[in-house]
């Protein structure tokens, strides 16, 4: 190395050290102000959060919408072109009970790889993590159009579950880098309820493509559904790769002052880009948490109680004979719409600290409990259809509430990321078993499956009461702080919020 090169490298190193020192000094200055006197006004803070919302939320929403379109279409495709040669069951020589295995097989790799996939997000970056997942699942979705038998379909469902593992918990963890726990609930809701909104789109998509069977490219309508949705996902993955923000301290559209403020206002248990990478001891410590097992238990029993009905909903409604078989999937739209509305409304109530999350989760489960009691005992088709809507609202109503409640109860990137992925992974046991509960021999009343779902929902409600009790201190602190800031903000937008985290230490 020449003397000139040596001097140049020395200057670069000194410059880098100076930049880091300046950045550290700026952060410490902002952090001190945030904790003592306030830094930005409520109005300035609101503008800053909206700037982040516009850059981050549309892309995460797009990604989750693609995921649910590709996953949920399996419930609607079975109803397309029923009793014709273009129906997927006839073309693949499958029965309805065979079709239930498409759910079971999908969730097996999903459960096995959800945790390692989410943990690896910190090793790469949120952008690369989400691109890798969405690009691969887009390809797998398109390949569904080429299957010729049930073995080929089962293989691709396994691949789809493998590729999609880690997407949703990765998105939830990503939000926690930018927002405080008391701000993240509504944003999680917009991600979660799009699982229900995707059902609305899927109903229209499958209905529309049912008219293309044999008329376009000599393919059946269900094949065109897979091709179109898979292609859309691949295009979306490329957009994600170029535009999805990673961390608040790495984006180029925030000033250094804004970056420091976003990070300084986060409570100690929030994940940060500066956290250490995953260590095995973090996993062990997390697995010892009663809170983690409690949340996982609630999610698994709730999904066991609701997923089977959601999976078979288009087919169950079609069996009611309330409309022309081709239009029957459209009758699932009211259920999906109710899920979207209830999810957003419940999240809004928690975001404004009107009610503790435990209460809202318990109420949503009680509503589902009542609905399943009626489904088990009543035989009037119109009444059954109405209460199916209530029964399927539960997981959508409290899904984001439950998830943000878990996030504020754990600490650090590895623990929060592991908690999200573990709880979401364990919950998918409901996907493995739920679809199998509604066997064809119980059609069309499904009295026994409804009774089984009823018992699972009851267990989930009991676990929510337990969680409500063991997290009461942390929950009350967050709610008290949130109410104080909302009261101050409503009184004076020019006041400066103070985020003193000493009570969480």
What residues contact 14, with CB distance under 8 A and at least 6 apart? none
Q: For residue 195, name the pLDDT band (cuts at 50, 70, 90).
A: low
Structure pTM?
Answer: 0.81
Model confidence at 18, pLDDT cuts 50, 70, 90, reads very low
Q: What is the pLDDT of residues 107-143, one digit of tens each?
A: 999 888 888 888 788 788 899 999 999 999 999 999 9
Distance separating alpha carbons of residues 457 and 367, to the nearest angstrom: 10
Give the per-residue pLDDT at 156: 95
Q: How far is CA 70 from the centre of its chain?
A: 14
**CA 249, CA 205: separation in Å to the nearest integer?**
40
DSSP-assigned letters across all residues of 268-299: TTS--TTSPPP-HHHHHHHHT-HHHHHHHHHH
What value does the mean pLDDT take over residues 157-175? 89
Cα gap 52→257, rounded to integer Å: 14
pLDDT in tens, 386-438: 888 888 877 677 777 887 787 777 665 456 667 777 877 788 888 888 888 88
pLDDT band at residue 259 under the 50/70/90 scheme = very high
Predicted local distance difference test score (pLDDT) of residue 8: 39
> pLDDT band at residue 505, thresholds of 50, 70 and 90?
very low
Worst-scoring range by mean pLDDT, 9-13, 272-276, 396-400, 413-417?
A: 9-13
Q: What is the pLDDT of residue 336?
A: 80
Stretch among 170-179, 227-236, 240-249, 270-279 having the lowest mean pLDDT: 270-279
Residue 5 has pLDDT above 80, yes or no: no
What is the C-alpha to C-alpha distance for residues 183 and 278, in angstroms, rounded to an integer? Answer: 26
pLDDT of residue 133: 94
451 vs 324, residue with greater confidence: 451
- pLDDT value, residue 279: 63
* Fold of domain 48-243+286-492: Growth Hormone; Chain: A; (1.20.1250)
pLDDT of 13 reads 41
Supply the pLDDT for residue 48.
Answer: 95
What gap in Å lies between CA 322 and CA 208, rounded to an integer?
20
User: 244-270 b/e with 16+ CB inside 10 Å = b?
Assistant: bbbbbbebeebeeebbbbbbbbbbebb
CB atoms within 10 A of CB 284: 9
**pLDDT for the residue 227:** 95
Q: What is the mean pLDDT of residues 251-272?
A: 86
Mean pLDDT over residues 460-466, rounded?
Answer: 93
Q: What percent of the chain has pLDDT over 90?
A: 29
Q: Is the confidence at residue 378, as pLDDT, over 70?
A: yes
| Confidence at residue 131, expressed as pLDDT on a 0 to 100 scale | 96
Lowest mean pLDDT segment, chosen from 37-51, 60-74, 333-347: 333-347
Instruction: Give whichever of 20-29, 89-98, 327-336, 486-495 has the largest mean pLDDT.
Output: 89-98
Q: Confidence band (pLDDT; 50, 70, 90) for 12?
A: very low
Q: Which are the contacts of 106, defined by CB distance < 8 A and separation ≥ 6?
A: 71, 74, 157, 158, 160, 161, 431
The per-residue pLDDT of the chain, averaged, comes to 83
Q: Is pLDDT of 469 > 50? A: yes
> In this predicted structure, which of 9-13, 121-125, 181-185 has the lowest mean pLDDT?
9-13
- Give the residue with greater pLDDT, 346 vs 196: 346
Domain boundaries, the chain: 48-243+286-492
Tell me what pLDDT residue 6 has: 47
Task: Compute φ and ψ for 438, nearest 5 degrees.
Answer: -90, 70
pLDDT at position 491 is 84
Which tokens hold the place of 126?
Answer: 């949120």
Q: Which residues contact 205 (CB under 8 A, 6 or more apart)?
A: 69, 73, 76, 225, 228, 229
Instruction: Please say whether the beta carbons of 287 and 428 come within 8 A.
Output: no
Q: What is the pLDDT of residue 134?
A: 95
Q: Does residue 244 contact residue 135 with C-beta atoms inside 8 Å?
A: no
């Amino acid at each position: 190395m020449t003397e000139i090169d040596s001097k140049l490298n020395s200057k670069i190193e000194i410059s880098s050290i100076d930049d880091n020192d300046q950045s550290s000094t700026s952060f410490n200055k902002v952090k001190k102000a945030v904790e003592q006197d306030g830094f930005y006004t409520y109005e300035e803070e609101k503008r800053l959060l909206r700037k982040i919302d516009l850059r981050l939320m549309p892309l995460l929403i797009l990604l989750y919408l693609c995921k649910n379109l590709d996953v949920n279409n399996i419930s609607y495709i079975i109803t397309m072109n029923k009793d014709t040669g273009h129906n997927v069951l006839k073309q693949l020589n499958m029965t309805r009970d065979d079709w239930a295995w498409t759910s079971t097989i999908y969730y097996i790799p999903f459960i096995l790889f959800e945790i390692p996939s989410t943990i690896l997000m910190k090793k790469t970056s949120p952008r690369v993590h989400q691109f890798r997942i969405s690009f691969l699942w887009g390809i797998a979705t398109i390949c569904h159009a080429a299957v010729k038998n049930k073995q080929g379909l089962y293989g691709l469902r396994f691949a789809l579950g493998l590729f999609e593992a880690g997407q949703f918990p990765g998105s939830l963890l990503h939000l926690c880098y930018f927002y405080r726990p008391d701000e993240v609930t509504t944003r999680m809701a917009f991600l979660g309820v799009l699982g229900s909104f995707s059902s609305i789109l899927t109903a229209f998509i499958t209905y529309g493509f049912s008219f293309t069977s044999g008329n376009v490219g000599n393919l059946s309508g269900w094949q065109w559904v897979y091709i179109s949705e898979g292609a859309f996902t691949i295009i979306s993955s490329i957009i994600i790769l170029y535009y999805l923000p990673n961390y608040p301290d790495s984006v180029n559209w925030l000033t250094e002052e804004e970056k420091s403020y976003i990070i300084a206002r986060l409570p100690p248990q929030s994940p940060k880009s500066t956290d250490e990478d995953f260590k095995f001891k973090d996993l062990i410590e997390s697995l010892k948490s009663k809170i983690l097992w409690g949340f996982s238990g609630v999610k698994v029993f709730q999904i066991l109680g609701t997923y089977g009905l959601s999976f078979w909903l288009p087919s169950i409604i079609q069996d009611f004979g309330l409309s022309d078989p081709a239009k029957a999937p459209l009758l699932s739209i009211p259920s999906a719409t109710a899920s979207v509305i209830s999810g957003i409304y419940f999240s809004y109530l928690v975001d404004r600290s009107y009610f503790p999350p435990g209460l809202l989760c318990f109420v949503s489960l009680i509503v589902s409990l009542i609905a399943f009691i009626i489904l088990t005992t009543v035989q009037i088709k119109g009444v059954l259809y109405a209460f199916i809507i209530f029964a399927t609202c539960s997981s959508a109503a409290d899904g984001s509430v439950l998830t943000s409640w878990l996030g504020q109860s754990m600490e650090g990137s590895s623990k929060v990321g592991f908690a999200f992925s573990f709880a979401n992974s364990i919950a998918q046991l409901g996907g493995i078993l739920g679809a199998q509960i509604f066997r064809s021999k119980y059609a069309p009343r499904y009295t026994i499956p409804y009774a089984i779902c009823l018992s699972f929902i009851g267990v989930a409600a009991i676990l929510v009461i337990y969680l409500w009790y063991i997290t009461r201190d942390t929950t009350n602190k967050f709610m008290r702080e949130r109410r104080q800031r909302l009261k101050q903000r409503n009184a004076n937008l020019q006041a400066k919020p103070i985020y003193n985290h000493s009570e969480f230490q």
